[in-house]
C-alpha cells in the first residue's frame, strides 16, 4: 500500500505570494490607521473639489467677460463703413473694461480695440500707449497684433528708430513676420536710409516671392536704385 506524504500548506506554497501579501498588509495597515488617514483623505477631497470649483468659476467669469465685451463692441461701426463715426464713449468703455479685466485675454483684446480706434482718430500718443501695454503684456496673437500697430503708430509719428526697434523685437517667429519685414523696409525708406531700404526691399521680394507686396517691393527697390 502506497504511503502518501502529507503536504502542508507551508511546503505547498513554497513562498509568499508577494502581490497578495503586499495588499493584505496594506489592508490591515489602513484598518489600523483609518482614524489618522481620515483627515488627509478629507483634505484631498476638499482640495479636488476646490480645484474643480475654481476651474468652473474661471469659465463662468470668461463667459461673462465675453458677453460684456460683446455688448460694448456692438456700438462699433461695421467694417467697410468708412465714414461712420465711432462713439466717443466707446474708448472710455473699453478702457474701463480693460481695467476691470486687467491681465486677462479679454482685457488685452479690449485694449487692442481701443488702440485701433485711437489710431484711426489720429490720437497717436494714446494709441501708442495702448498698443505698448498689450504688446508687453505677454504672448499670444493679441501681443503680435499690438506690436504691429505700435510700429505703425511710431512710423506715422516719425519715430522711425522706435518703429524699427519694435519690429526687431517682435518680428522673430511672428505670424505677421511678412507684414513686419515690409514695414521695416518702408520705415527705413521714410527715414531717408535709402541703401538700407533698398537692401530690405530686395530681401523681402526674395523671401516672399508669392506675397501681394512683392511687386510693390520690386517697384520701391527700382525707384531707390
Segment 33-91, tens digit of pLDDT = 555 555 454 445 444 544 444 344 444 556 667 677 777 777 666 544 444 456 678 88
In a domain, 42, yes or no: no
Q: Using an 8 Å Cβ cutoff, are 197 and 160 in contact?
A: no
71 & 99 share domain:
yes
**Number of independent structural domains in the chain:** 2
Residue 138: per-residue pLDDT: 76
Q: Cell triple for residue 136?
A: 508687453
60 & 133 share domain:
yes
Confidence grade of residue 185 (pLDDT, cut at 50, 70, 90): very high
Burial of residue 190, with CB atoms counted within 10 A of its CB: 0-12 exposed, 13-18 middle, 19 or more buried: middle
Q: Which of 163, 176, 175, 178 is nearest to 214 (CA)?
A: 178
In a domain, 1, yes or no: no
d(CA 183, CA 177): 10
Residue 188 structural domain: 176-225
The pTM for the full model equals 0.68
Amino acid at each position: 500500500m502506497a504511503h502518501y506524504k502529507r503536504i502542508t500548506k507551508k511546503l505547498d506554497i513554497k513562498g509568499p505570494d508577494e502581490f497578495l501579501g503586499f495588499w493584505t498588509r496594506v489592508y490591515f495597515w489602513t484598518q489600523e490607521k483609518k482614524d489618522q488617514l481620515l483627515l488627509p483623505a478629507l483634505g484631498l477631497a476638499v482640495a479636488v473639489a476646490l480645484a474643480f470649483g475654481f476651474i468652473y468659476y474661471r469659465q463662468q467669469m470668461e463667459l461673462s467677460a465675453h458677453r460684456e465685451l460683446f455688448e460694448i463692441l456692438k456700438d462699433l461701426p461695421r467694417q467697410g463703413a468708412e465714414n461712420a463715426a465711432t462713439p466717443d464713449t466707446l474708448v472710455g468703455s473699453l478702457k474701463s473694461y480693460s481695467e476691470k479685466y486687467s491681465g486677462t485675454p479679454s482685457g488685452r483684446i479690449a485694449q487692442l480695440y481701443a488702440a485701433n480706434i485711437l489710431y484711426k482718430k489720429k490720437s497717436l500718443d494714446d494709441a501708442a500707449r495702448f498698443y505698448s501695454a498689450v504688446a508687453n503684456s505677454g504672448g499670444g496673437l493679441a501681443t503680435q497684433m499690438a506690436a504691429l500697430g505700435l510700429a505703425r503708430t511710431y512710423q506715422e509719428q516719425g519715430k522711425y528708430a522706435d518703429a524699427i526697434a519694435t519690429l526687431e523685437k517682435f518680428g522673430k517667429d511672428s505670424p505677421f513676420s511678412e507684414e513686419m519685414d515690409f514695414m521695416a523696409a518702408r520705415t527705413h525708406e521714410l527715414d531717408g536710409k535709402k541703401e538700407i531700404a533698398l537692401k530690405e526691399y530686395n530681401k523681402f521680394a526674395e523671401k516672399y516671392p508669392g506675397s501681394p507686396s512683392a511687386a510693390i517691393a520690386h517697384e520701391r527697390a527700382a525707384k531707390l536704385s
